[in-house]
Amino acid sequence: MFRMDGRVAFVAGAASGIGLASARGLAAAGAYTICADINGEGAESAASGIRSEGGGAESLALDVTDAEAVAAAFQVFEERQFRIRAVLTTPAVNIRKRLLDYSDAEVEKVFRLNLVGGFHVLQAAGRHMAKHGGGSIILCSSIRAATVEPGQSIYATTKAGLIQMARGLAVELGPAGVRVNCIAPGVVETPLTAPIKNQPEWYGAYSERNALGRWASAEEMAGPVVFLASDASSYVTGTVLFVDGGWTAIDGRFRPPV
């Protein structure tokens, strides 16, 4: 039920991090995977890596903040008679700064990529899947949609917004067989979090904060993505899968002596 043989998957943000790991995971499950990223060379590297392991993949240079480009990409899929059965979008940026210090330009930058970019993919994929009998769309939210720390307010706002967009579209397109869900990763070692890893005290504090006592690798996000993309989750829609090592299950940072 987790197999994706004969299906086409589309991953935005496939050049690195969770997007790359998920593209590889979907390909390993049998999907022909379209690796899209604003970094065209990185997208091709991801696709080439999949092909070298015997999978089927191609690359696409794509800026998700460009609505016309996203719509055009899905139009090309239509012309090629592709039926996209699974879509994942991961691109995001985070400017760590207290809310009172944010400029309009910085708010626009974070909102534009995280929220508006996600909307563009959600809309294009939703139209495509509704026309072709269904599919699964997955947005990459975050634990920050539920728990916030200083310097994360604007990023957290976008990640919470993605959840509500996913729920809204899940309700609207459920009758068309389109499922829409979010994954909410915890602390994952990716290029986005590299600055934290370079600060041992900060990195260690985050490790101790979750139930498993460690960071996740990007590859550990691939399994949940394949689950939501495949028939294994055929009755799952409009929900959030927290992949956070128990971060949101723990009440505070103190472990009482019990």
Q: Is the pLDDT of residue 252 over 80?
A: no
Q: Is the pLDDT of residue 255 over 80?
A: no
As a whole number of angstroms, the distance between CA 171 and CA 155 comes to: 25
What is the CATH number assigned to the segment(s) 8-189+217-245? Answer: 3.40.50.720
Q: Token digits for 54?
A: 């015997």
**Out of 32, 102, 155, 203, which one is annotated catalytic?**
155
Q: Is the pLDDT of residue 242 over 70?
A: yes
- 45-54: average pLDDT: 98
Task: Kindly give the interhelix angle for 17-28 and 40-52, rounded to the nearest 10 degrees.
Answer: 30
Instruction: State pTM to two decimals.
Output: 0.95
As a whole number of angstroms, the distance between CA 96 and CA 49 comes to: 33
CA distances from residue 59 to 40, 123, 252 in whole angstroms, order as listed: 7, 21, 43
For the residues of 227-238, what is the DSSP string, one character each?
HHHSGGGTT--S
From the number of C-beta atoms within 10 Å of its C-beta (0-12, 13-18, 19+), residue 144 rates as buried
- Which pLDDT band, with edges at 50, 70 and 90, does 258 fall under? confident
Model pLDDT, residue 194: 84
Domain ranges in the chain are 8-189+217-245
**187-213 pLDDT, tens per residue?**
999 888 888 888 999 999 888 889 999
- Cβ-proximal residues to 96 (8 Å cutoff; 6+ apart), any chain: 151, 152, 155
Model pLDDT, residue 224: 98
Which residue type occupies 30?
A: G
User: What is the average pLDDT score of the chain?
Assistant: 95
- Which pLDDT band, with edges at 50, 70 and 90, does 49 fall under? very high
Clarify whether 155 is annotated catalytic: yes
Model pLDDT, residue 253: 65
- Cβ-proximal residues to 155 (8 Å cutoff; 6+ apart), any chain: 92, 94, 95, 96, 110, 114, 142, 144
Asked if 226 contacts 167 with a C-beta cutoff of 8 angstroms, the reply is no
Model pLDDT, residue 226: 98
Q: Looking only at Cα atoms, what is the longest distance across the chain? A: 63
Model pLDDT, residue 254: 66
**92-139 pLDDT, tens per residue?**
999 999 999 999 999 999 999 999 999 999 999 999 999 999 999 999
Count how many Cα atoms sit within 13 Å of the Cα of residue 97 in the half-sphere of its side chain.
Answer: 12
Q: Is the pLDDT of residue 244 over 80?
A: yes
**Three-state SS sequence of 136-156:** EEEEECCHHHCCCCCCCHHHH
As a whole number of angstroms, the distance between CA 92 and CA 159 comes to: 9
Model pLDDT, residue 256: 65
Phi, psi of 200 (to 5 degrees): -50, -40
